[in-house]
A = this chain, B = another copy of it.
Amino acid sequence: MSDLSPPLLDAETAGTEVGHAHQDELRLWLRLLTCTNMIEGQIRSRLRADFDVTLPRFDLMAQLYRAADGMMMSEVSKRMMVSSGNVTLIVEHLLASGDVERQTSAHDRRAQLIRLTEAGRVHFREMASAHEAWIAGMFDGLTQKDIANLMKLLAKAKASLQADLSQHGSSADTPVVKKPSSRRSR
């Protein structure tokens, strides 16, 4: 076991004020972060506990599940927004577990087509179904109206973020979302 046994303390207990101008925005960000981390952490550990699978592998399987004819490595890399080197590694694990199969493209001998095996499809459906139930359970305390409101406000926030992002750095091919791996889907 690790020596890590954190208290229920969460981000918002913190808050080092250096300036006071934009406290609310800061607090909002921290709360957003807390919620996301709680959910992501749960999904991650339940996937591991119940299915012995990592989140990146689940995400990749989700991508393939929707593409019955399979996908090129590069396509997967683009969709998951992770490097191709990373895709290579994840695919290797999934090949080993028999969830994925790989074949060289007929047209382009550089390109590799990967797709879920039949076992992989079955396996993914089980996981996806559990995953959906977990999330429903986590949001059980919200009404449908709460959920709708949250969706609306987060859409607005996202628009605001995109507006801000487009002003900054993104000069050319800068990865705009940056560390967006854990994309889940489903």
With A35-B157, A175-B4 as known contacts, state yes or no: A9 contacts B81, CB within 8 Å. Answer: yes
Protomer copies: 2
With A4-B175, A31-B154, A142-B160 as known contacts, state yes or no: A16 contacts B136, CB within 8 Å. Answer: no
Chain A stretch 159-181: residues in CB contact (< 8 A) with chain B = 159-165, 168-169, 173, 175-180
Q: Min CB distance, A123 to chain B, in Å?
A: 12
0/1 interface trace, chain A 121-154, chain B, CB 8 Å (1 if under):
0001100110011011111111010111111011
Q: Min CB distance, A139 to chain B, in Å?
A: 5
With both beta carbons as reference points, the residue of chain B lying nearest to A137 in the complex is identified as B164
Known: A14-B183, A41-B178, A45-B178. 8 other contacts (CB 8 A): A1-B173, A18-B124, A38-B161, A44-B179, A139-B157, A140-B160, A141-B159, A141-B160
Judged by a CB distance under 8 angstroms, whether A49 is at the interface is: yes
Judged by a CB distance under 8 angstroms, whether A93 is at the interface is: no
Pick from B17, B84, B157: contact of A141, CB under 8 Å: B157
- Contact assessment for B138 and A21 in the assembled complex, using a CB-CB cutoff below 8 Å: no
